[in-house]
Amino acid sequence: MTTRAPNFGPFHIRKWFAFAEETLAGEMGKAADGASLFKYVIAAAIHNPYAGDYVEDLGAWIDASPALGVEIGRRLNELSGGAAIESYGKAILVGTDGEYEHGNALLTNPAANPVRDAVGGGKSWVPSTGKRGVPGTVLDIPLAHKDALYVRSHYDTVSVSFNDAPNRDEVLVIWAFATRGRLNARLGGLKASEVKGEDGLV
């Protein structure tokens, strides 16, 4: 296994990614019911020191992961210009020499809480997904309202792929965000304007 010199705390980050998209109308051409929908993605390609190995204790990565959360939040606010965020989601894409569990070590609450802070708090759990893959693999990241999981209008997806990551010995950590729910959502249920934000559900 090849080692990489740390360049971000204990991590070796080869590359940061930042994506943004703005949607002004729905698939049938109907204009947005209010503001357009912005989605943002922040990702990091991180060398996986556990690649090729089964390691019982992944605590070192979990313990170091809050710094990643802080930096992801900082980069989000820089990319979005400090726009109000209503939805979020997270994912990992683990290179083929790694284990799925390696990536999950960077998605637990210690990493997520600083991201919540960066978006002004988040009462709801962060929807999550992930898999092992190669450069160009498409990953669908689920989104949900950051304060109330039962807001149907905010169930959404961000699809991403990366042309040169992950390498076999890397993990891609990916966070996605949205400024509002789907355009012209009309499935009923709890409205975003009615969210109490007390228990992460309503």
Q: pTM of the full predicted structure?
A: 0.95
For residue 153, the Cα-to-chain-centroid distance in whole angstroms is: 19
**In which band, very low, low, confident or very high, does the pLDDT at 115 lie, cut at 50, 70 and 90?**
very high
Domain boundaries, the chain: 13-194
- Under the banding of pLDDT at 50, 70 and 90, the label for residue 64 is very high
- Percent of the chain exceeding pLDDT 90 equals 91
Omega prior to 6 cis, within 30 of 0: no
Alpha carbons 131 and 94: distance in angstroms, whole number:
6
- Distance CA(19)–CA(110), nearest Å, equals 24
pLDDT at residue 1, rounded to an integer: 55
CATH for the stretch 13-194: 3.30.1330.110
Helix (H, G, I), strand (E, B), or coil: what is residue 183? Answer: coil
> Between these two residues, 193 and 68, which has the higher pLDDT value?
68
pLDDT digits (tens, 9 = 90+) for 149-164: 999 999 999 999 999 9
Arithmetic mean of pLDDT, 129-142: 97
35 is written with which tokens?
A: 């503001």
Query: According to the model, what pLDDT value does residue 197 have?
Result: 82
Q: How far apart are CA 103 and CA 130, in angstroms?
A: 8
181-197 average pLDDT score: 90
- Tell me the average pLDDT across 80-89: 96
The yes-or-no verdict on residue 2 having pLDDT over 70 is no
Q: Residue 81: name the closest of 111, 122, 38 by CA.
A: 38
